[in-house]
Structure 1
Amino acid sequence: MDSTVSIFQLKMEDGITFFLLSSVLLLTCGLSREDDAVCVRPILDGNIELASNQTHFSPGEAIVLSCKQGYTPVSGPRRIVCIVDGTWTRTRYMCKSKLCPYPDPPANGEQYYEDTVYLSTINYTCHEGYTLKGSRTAVCQANGTWSTPTPECKAVSCGLAPIPKFGMIIYDRTVRGDKTYFGIGGTYRCLPPYALFGNPRAECTIRGTWTKTPECRVVTCPPPDNIEKGYMSNGDRRDFDFMETVKYGCNDDYVLDGNMEIVCQQNGNWSEKPSCKASCPIESEKAKIEYRGKKTWTSDLQNKVILHKEIVSFYCKDTVRNCTYTVPTQCLDGVLKLPECFEELSKFEYNLNSTEIQQC
C-alpha cells in the first residue's frame, strides 16, 4: 500500500516536474526568438545613400548614411543602428541640393534660369546684332560649378561698305580701321555730273553684309526755255549736267510764282518752272485801306497796283452802328475782287473822312 502510494506520488511528482520543465523550455524558446529579431533595409529620403546593400540586419548592426552625388548633408547623425525590437535608431540626417554661384549675364546678351541648384539649367541669348560665341546652355554640376563658362556676344561685323564707281559714302559716325558693325549706316553720293540710281541709304545688316549698293550714272537735261514776261540767268543752248541750275526773274510789275531756281533732275528733266503773274490795279481812288500793315488811301499808293498774292483790306461801313470794319481781298494774277460791302466814298465824304475813320 505504501509502496503503491509512493510510486503514484513519484509519478505525480515526475509529471509535475515534467510540466514545469516544459514551461521553462517554452519560455526559453520564446526569448530566443525575440533575441533573433531582424531589421529590414530602411527606406529613407530619396537623396540619401546607404553604405550597405544588405536587406536584413541583426540587432546591433549599423548602417553609415551618405548623400547622393550633387547633394550635401545638413544635420543629424550619419549612422543608424538596428535595435532588438526590429526598428532603427532615429536620425535627422538630410541631404539638400548643392548650389552653383549666381551667374553673370553676357555683355550685350541675356540669360534665363529658374534656380541655381544642382541640375538647374541656364539658357543664353544675345541682343540683336550680336552672335553668341560659346555654349548656349549651362548646367549646375554636382561639384557646385556650371558646366560651361559664360559665353560672349560678339557684334556682327560687315567690313567697309562697297563704293560705287564715281561715288562715295558718308558714314553716320566715325569709322576706324576696316571694320563696321551691325546698325551703322551711311549715305551714298555721286560725284558731279553723275546721278545716283538706287537707295542712297546703306546699312550693315544682321547677316554681316551691306545693303545693295546703288549706281552712279551720267545724266543731262536739254536747254531750258524762258518764261513769259520773264527772263533767265543762263541762255546757253547746250545740254546741262545733273544738278546744274538756272534762275528766272520777271519783268516790270510781274511777280514770280513758284521757285526762282530750276534744277536738272535725275530723270533728265528740269524741275517745275515758275511763271510771272500780273499785279492788280486799284480801281477805286477814294478808298481807305490797310496794306502791308499800314492804313492808307488808295490814292497814295505808288503805281496804284497790288502785287500778285498780296492782300489788301478795304473798309466797309456798318450803318447801324455808324462805324467801319475791314474786309480782306487778295490779288491773283491781275484780278482783285472788291468786297461786296465796299462802297467808294463820294468826293465830299472823301474830303470829310480824310483825317480819321471811326472803326467798329
Structure 2
Amino acid sequence: MCIRHLGFVLLFWFPAELHGQSETRSCAAPVLVHGLFTPKQDIYPHGAKLTYTCNNGHKPADQGWWVMSTCNNGLWSPPPQCIDESSCVQPDDVPNTIYSPSPTGWYENGTKIRVKCNKGYETKNNLLTGTCKDGAWRSMPVCEKSADSCSEPPQLPHAVIINQTHQEVFAVDSEVMYQCEDGYTTEQGESMKSVTCISGNWTEGPTCRSSSSSGSSVSTVPTVPISNCGRHPIVQNAVVVQSDLMSLKYRCYTFYSLEGPEIVKCYSNGMWSDKPTCKVAYCVLNTKGHDVLKDVGRKYIKNGETVEMECQKLKFYWVTTHKAEVQCNDGEIQLGSCCSSTDAVFTNCE
C-alpha cells in the first residue's frame, strides 16, 4: 500500500517539476534612472530586446552611447543602467591580461584595478594597476612575453608533444615531453625525450629515426578523410572556419596573423599535416606617452591599420579639432602630423 502511494506521488511530482524547469520567465520593464529605452512595455517575453540610452551627463554602463539589452529568463543582459560620465565601463579585453571584473559592470571615477598576466608574461615597466579617470582608463598595464619565456616548442619530424595542450608562450623552467611516432626512436633508442625552457630557449629536442630501413617520409604518404586522424588539431589563437571531407581551414583571431599553411590534411598513417601558427599582429599606442595626442589611455591597432587620433590644442589659434594619423607597421607605431579638417589633403599640418 505504501509503495503504491509513493509511486503516485512520484508520477504527480516529476512531470510538474520537469514542466517547471522547461519554462522560461519573462522580464519586467527595467527601472532606468537618467535614461530612456524603447520599446516600452510592462512585460517582455524571454528573448525580447530593448535599446536604451542615457541623458546628458550620463552614459550606458557598456561600450557606446546606446546599448541593446536582452531578456534572458527573467533577467536583462546586460542590465540597463546609466552611470556618471566620469565613471568607466569594463576595460577592453587585452591579450594575456587578467583582471577582476566589477560586479556592477562599471567603475567609479578614481577606481584602481589590479592587473595580472598569464604565465610567461609580465607587465611593461612593472605597472600593475590601471586607473579610471574622467571616464577613461589611464596607464592600463600591458602584458608582454617575459624575456626568459619561450615560444612554442619546435615541431620535430616524426614526433609529437604529449600531456600538454598547445600554447604560444611557456614560462621559464617549463618542461614538455616529445614522443616519437610508432616505429621511430631517439638516437638513444628511447621513445620519449623532454625539453626545458631555459633563458628564452628550449633545450635540444629528440631526433626520431626509423627503427627499420623501410620507413617512408610523410611527403609520400597519401591523404585520407580527416575522420581518420581523430580530434582536430588545436591552433592557438585560431578557429576552424571551413571543414570538409579531406581538409580543415584555419583562420586567426583578430590582432593575430597566420603563418604557415591555412589548410591542414590527414595522412593515411594517422598524422596531421603541418599546422599554421598565429602570431601577434598589433601595436599598442599609449597616448599618455605622446604629448601631441589627447590622453585617452591605450589604443590597440592592427598591423597595417591606420587610425585617426585627436590632438591636444598645440596652437592658441586652433579653433577646430586637429587629428593625427597613427599607423601600425610590424609592431612599430608611426605618428603623423596634427591636422584640421580644413587642411587640404593634410598640406598645412603643424
TM-score (norm 2): 0.23
Whichever structure has more strand as a proportion of its residues is 2
| Structure ID, larger Rg | 1
